[in-house]
């Protein structure tokens, strides 16, 4: 296995595009077929995967139910206001 990658910066960009689902199927299969022959690429791929996994498991919060309720209430009052305004408007003209 190669311990030195001569195009590490380009490989890292490719790894990121593959994980972002922005690479072509051909680019992806070529990389996956060759990554085990290059240590920096193999480790780079593992690190990018680990980072995404860590982010997904640690950075999530649920919207408080009080906020959802307050949004429903606000929207209901706007709709109610519209329902009241239309007849009022018609009555005036």
Partner 1 sequence: MSTETSSAIALTESQSRSLFEKEFVPHLDAMYNFALRLTNDEDDAHDLVQDTCMRAFRFIGSFEPGTYAKAWLFRILKNNFINDYRKKSRGPSKVEFEWVEQSFAGDDDPEPAFQADLKAETVNEMLGDEITTAIQALPVDFRMIIILCDLEEFSYEEMAKILNIPIGTVRSRLHRARAFLKETLASYAEKKGYKTDMLSA
Query: Taking CB under 8 A as the rule, does residue 4 contact partner 1?
Result: no
The span from the CA of 75 to the CA of 4, in Å, is: 60
Chain length of the chain: 93
Contact string (CB under 8 A) for partner 1, positions 6-45, x = contact: --xx--xx--x---xxx--------------------x--
**Member of 33, 63, 88, 93 binding partner 1 (CB under 8 A):** 63
CA geometry: angle 73, 75, 78, nearest 5 deg: 110
Query: Taking CB under 8 A as the rule, does residue 3 contact partner 1?
Result: no
């Amino acid at each position: 296995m190669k311990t030195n990658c001569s195009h590490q910066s380009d490989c890292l960009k490719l790894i990121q595009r593959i994980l972002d689902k922005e690479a072509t199927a051909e680019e992806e299969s070529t990389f996956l077929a060759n990554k085990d022959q290059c240590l920096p690429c193999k480790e780079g791929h593992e690190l990018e995967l680990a980072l995404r996994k860590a982010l997904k498991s640690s950075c999530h919060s649920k919207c408080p139910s009080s906020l959802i309720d307050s949004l429903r209430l606000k929207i209901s009052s706007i709709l109610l206001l519209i329902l009241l305004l239309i007849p009022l408007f018609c009555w005036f003209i």
